[in-house]
Structure 1
Amino acid sequence: MDKIKRMKELIHDLNRASDSYYGSGTTLMSDAEFDSKLLELKQLEEEANTVFPNSPVNRVGGAVLKSLIKVKHETPMLSLDKCHSVEEIKKFAAGHDIVASIKLDGISCRLIYQDGELIGAESRGNGTEGNDILQHVKQFMNVPLRINKKGKYVIDGEALIKLDDFEEINKNGEYKNSRNLTAGTLSSLDTSVVKDRKLSWYAWEVVEEVDPILAISNNDYEAHDSFYFRLLEAGKLGFSIVPCEVLGLKYYQNEELQCKIDNFISLAAEKHLPQDGVVFKFEDVEYGKSLGSTEHHNRNGIAFKVKNDSVETTLKDIEFTMGKTGILTPTAVFEPVETEGSTVERASLHNVSVMRELMPRPFRGQRIGVFKANLIIPQLRWAEEFISDGFEKDMEKSFIHIPDKCPVCGEPTKIIKENDSEVLWCTNPECKGKLLGKLTHAVSRNTLNIDGLSEATIQKFISLGWLNSIQDIYYLTKYEKQMKNLDGFGSKSVSKLFDSIEKSRNTTLDRFLYALSIPLVGKTASKVIAEAEDYQFESFVRDMTHPGAKFFSHIPGIGDSIINSLDEYFNRECSNVWELGKEFTFETPKKVSLKTSSGKDLTGQTFVVTGSLKHFENRDALKEKIESLGGKVSGSISKKVTALINNDVNSTSSKNTKAKSLGVKIMSEDEFLEYIS
């Protein structure tokens, strides 16, 4: 087996066993087996001369920096020239072999190694000068701290947040896109947020290498320093590399080249990689260098930008909706338009900063351009500029202003800074809108899973004074008589609601924690914390009381930001959490066996998996089960997909929406298990 692959397997097994033992006292492997695997990992690290940040042999913790230091690049990190047609690509190649790769849409970073040790990491910045981000990069789970390489080794790549991870982080719509969040994270002085936000890094060019890696050209059969083989070697050294392929373009028809481009875009979607087109660079490194550069871009490559044309429509209004933390998110409401195969009439403007950048002075009737980012998420590309003509008073009623009063409670709002962006926030700590957001989240399918409590119903119950906390849900039976007299309610619907509430009393610790809306503690963090406590509620409360959230600091993915948030929340809410916990019976999730391939034959069937899981340990485990039965797993929805597996079957996520539009079945995990039994 490949040494790097074996190292990654050992790191996964050892970390899982360590987390379980120190978190809950559960033994997953004997001391002898643990010591044997740890010794094997240590020996492999020495043999391969490679170390990963999450290795239990040498753990790396996050650091808090005083400031970001500017560094000048030894070799400029320039952009590439752009093109929009296959004819331009072929003209650029001029008969030479080309390496095609996905143009990743993140933040370009350079890593510098000396005699195998990672000694520097720099963001692109303005191309000649960037930030020293070494401490940030040390938190990337897929960047080796040591490699088996002598001399100086410089490699460029892209820091990014994968789209499925971004969708989970951004469920309240507060971030514009994964690229902006990546940039903000790499600008943070607290480097532990890198792990919390699941940043990863993909290599796309080896800039400096002691020895050339030779290949034979398709054109003249002379050996040359190979751009492609350099990247392949980087993969063997432990780096994640961008999907790429060598193309002899002089043998390609335009239609074939366009097909290759389409395949790269589809592959990016399948791997959840944010993309901005396809990059083409000369396979012969020295030939590429000989072409030189302009002040703006290198001439050794060109970037094909995928057309993402916007469609024009008319702005009707901007609505401000409240999330569970009190942030009011602006959403553009416009005349319905068709784009990328579906009808859209709303698009998030994310925050005040984005809204002001797109439309400094919005007004009803304004012409706007709408497109789908990464062909999925509705966004605004442009807005008609308001030009004063002396009749502004006549338009006063049409202008849309940022509200100075909360649309929910009527108390003052305030524009505050959050993650380097301006956001609108309700100043009222008792705002019912915050309560509405928290309760709506608490009863959702991924948390307590209570049917019959829609957002509108919760809003009604709050206004009647029946709901002021999650715990109040379990005492709604006090209002049974009044409830049956409400419009839209009857004996049958009330009975169903109470049955669903009663059923929700059987839950798991991870769902309970996620239901609390603790800042920064999402589904993933809730799950790993619950696993560390063996899903025991009393054990969790005891450890949070003493020694506090630092008890979880050994768990990969639980950084200082999450620890501080947990401590702040429990210092304030510990007694309430304890009382709420008394309403539940906490269960330990059943783990589905993967050792057997018994079940329905899934040959010829394709599935897409999204959202959190309750029976399988993770998505990879479910993928393994599907493949063991002969099926395939894709990362994107198409008409060829048999079913989308999502425990939140009523979600309005992009995958659910697309599945419904294409008539693809959406099934829960339980329904899938029943399907294959």
Structure 2
Amino acid sequence: MLKLFEIVEDKSPKDRIDELRKDIERYNYYYYTKNESLVSDIEFDKLLKELEELEKKYPEYKIENSPTNYVGATSLKESKFKKVVHKKPMLSLNNSYNITDVIAFTERVEKNIDSVQNELEYVLELKLDGASISVTYENGELLRAVTRGDGVEGEDVTENILAIESIPNFLKEAVSLEVRGEIVLPLSRFKTLNEERLELGEEIFANPRNAASGTLRQIDSEIVKERGLDAYFYFIVDAEQYGFKTHKESLEYLEKIGLKTTGVADLITDMSIMEKRIAFWEAEKENLDYETDGLVIKLNDITLWEEVGYTTKSPRWAIAYKFPAKQVTTELLGITWQVGRTGKVTPVAELKEVELSGSKVKRASLHNMDEIIRKDIRVGDRVFIEKAAEIIPQVVSSVKEVRTGAEKEVVVPTNCPVCNSVLEKEDGLVDLKCVNPSCPAIIQGSIEYFVSRDAMNISGFGSKIVERMLQLHYIKDITDIFELHQHKDELMTLDKMGEKSVEKLLGSIEKSKSRPYSKTLYALGIPFVGKFLGDVLAKKSKSIDVLASMSKEELLEIDGVGEKVAESVYNYFRDEKSLEIIQKLKSFGVNFGKVAEDKKDEVKVEGKFTGKTFLFTGKLQKFKREEIKDLIESLGGTNLSSVSKKLDYLIVGEDAGSKLKKAEELGTVKILTEDEFLELTKE
């Protein structure tokens, strides 16, 4: 913890206000972005209260980007923006960095299509670097605007979106649809705003992307209007339902109804042309009035998207081509070996501080020992660093030409840097691992993961608090968290842990018991089960008892679950320690879904479709896609993602394509119209 309350009587009101803002912004960053509390909640609240009172007393020193004006991750903890679950997740895109990756992508697309009648077309679009947004129109009127958030859940920022002039309140047609786009701050406006802020003595914006994202979260929508944000749209959710057969057509329709696009949608069939257009935009981007960090390449034929399919977090019919990241050089001062919650031991470069892409960098990833050897990196080297995917700093290479001979080769560790256990290396893998389940770093990592915002969301339980609880032996694994109330009196005597902080922490622990089953499943830290897959498994299994009883074959039937995930989930529920933890968490009342009296009934819902598999194709007239999926599952059926020998029924809508043809060729699939399917449900 940091020392906060020093004597400040000799400081002027302006100096104290500036100091408070700087401290609060730093604490907010660590708390919301890194899930780490640098100060206790009570101290944070005192600082914020002091800043509010000083700004009221000296309004001439208040600035628009003060922490007292912001919400959420950039300021106040109580957000005025309500959370909204996306009807369809805003998935991320897989990235590529060279034409070879792009060619490999197109080959995978073609491989996933049963029969390619004509040469496939791809649409090349600009990838804007701003804040993603999903906007819903009902009968042509803007109904709601939601930020991307974590892809599954975002924040309702409708009021602020209405203040952006380039987003129409009413479309040119009375159509109901959901569109997705990017909110950006034009570079010309970014430059002007920073010049104005310099004249006023205010802190300038680091980059247009952060400025756009921060502006969207302003409490005062007038500030949003003054900033001059812009918006470009690039996607219609379920575009096929509106009769579009190609992505290019849907983009043209966006412009027709009054929504702005970048106007860049190059149709390409030849990879040599693709390479030339990528090179063109890599140079031309410097002439654009908005930040772009790459290009997006999409299969033009929308009717093939479902057939090409999705991974757990990305569509297989699209890929992002990232422009080369900016690089800088600095000195490699040393290497720290870091132990993660899974026991993986990774090298972290300790660097002489340098600025990269608008932020100060002192540490960077070295990935693993094999990479260090391959790149011939030594302590004391001058090294190039870049931000991988513009987020994580990594060491790219060393500058061997300037070596003095004083540089030292990196020594491969043989023992865990935390518990001193002998490290192991799994067959076929490059990572070193600590396999001691009692390793303090593994235990601390698993607890931090469990209490994190995306998991159990136990506020006030940052890494420093976790470390302290472990040192005091109040907790030794995740189950002990729910017995911390037994140490309430002792907790209140600890430094920086007053009565209110302890009450808040214990209250948050109690509240976490009712977290959704998908969140508690994610919190367990099952290898390869992230947020998206945790939601998929929870929705399919309904309870952890059902999930635990599934065979590998049953797990593989679930869309998005591959061999590696199925193996991991299956093994997890056959580990005695894992089962012991789950049982103990259940005894504390943690939500693990609705447990059926008869597990068979939970797996096999009684109904006409028990044991039967379904798939639909083409444009459906009587159902929305999620509606028909839910109906099938409510009657015991299983939804598949592709035509195979496992498929029993194919429901066919208008303009059915290759899925229908493949089903006919198999001869074992029963093909139904929507009306025939409805008759089947009535039976």
Shorter-normalised TM range: 0.3 to 0.5
TM-score, structure 1 normalization = 0.44
TM-score (norm 2): 0.43
More strand by share: 1
